[in-house]
Amino acid sequence: MTLGVAALLQGAVAAIITWWRGLPLWWLPIQFLFPIALLFAHAMALSPLVYFVLFILFVLIYWAPFRTRVPLYLSGRPVWEAVAAFFPEDAAVQFVDIGSGIGGLSLYLADRFPKATVTGIELAPFPWLISWLRARFSGSRAQFIWGDYANVDLAQFDIVFTFLSPAAMPSLWIKALSDMRQDSLLLSYEFIIPGAKPDIVIYPALGGAPLYGWRIPQNF
């Protein structure tokens, strides 16, 4: 058996196991093509330094998804406008974007609502640095914190926005109930909190993912 045939066979077996175990369908082509991609990478005979540099780059961009289970997601302008609809025009709203990425949402809101205090929290160093530099060079009032939202008291915010992952939602809900004030608003794009019926469900883009919202019932 040649290496090419072996890679195809291994990919097929991996895809079958993926389907059997009920993983999301987008895993199927990844599992099938990964052994073949390894063969191509080996044939290119790249320097080990290339792989090391790529490894460092991915660490800086994604930091610790094996722990947080949250990749880098970017929301887009329709979501920004949907979130902005919850801001009173003349109120000094305290807002935080948990997992703010490269800062698009926070920069947009800070520019649109001059009286609001807008904060982004990002754990991955490279996206945080990009957002900080964007705010610095554009003169934006948005603030960007490098760190884990678990170490931040959410009681200071009127609106909390997240675009994390299904794995992160249960722990986020526990912290929200513990920290957030009564009647403050928790927003989550695309991912729902298991066992917690949302008070708000809207669709920022036609055919796109929903934006969920929960009014905090009381401070535990």
Taking only the tens place, the pLDDT of each residue in 152-206 is 999 999 999 999 888 889 999 999 999 999 999 999 999 999 999 999 999 998 8
Q: Looking at the structure, do residues 123 and 92 belong to the same domain, yes or no?
A: yes
**Beta strand 211-215 with 200-202: parallel, antiparallel or unpaired?**
antiparallel
Considering the domain architecture, whether residues 147 and 114 belong to the same structural domain is answered as yes
Report if residue 220 sits inside a domain: no
Q: Are 87 and 63 found together in one domain?
A: no
Burial class (CB in 10 A: 0-12, 13-18, 19+), 33: middle
Q: Based on the domain organization, do 106 and 53 belong to the same domain?
A: no
Boundary of a domain, candidates 68, 94, 124: 68
Tens digits of per-residue pLDDT, 74-107? 788 999 999 999 998 777 899 999 999 999 999 9
CA atoms within 13 A on the CB side of 12: 6
Structure tokens at 132: 């900080």
Asked whether the predicted pLDDT for residue 69 surpasses 70, the reply is no
Task: Indicate if 113 and 41 belong to the same structural domain.
Answer: no
pLDDT value for 220: 47
Query: Number of folded domains in the chain?
Result: 2
Residue 157: which domain range? 77-215
Q: Which helix (H) or strand (E) holds 67?
A: helix 65-68
The structure's pTM equals 0.79
Domain endpoint, select from 68, 102, 120: 68
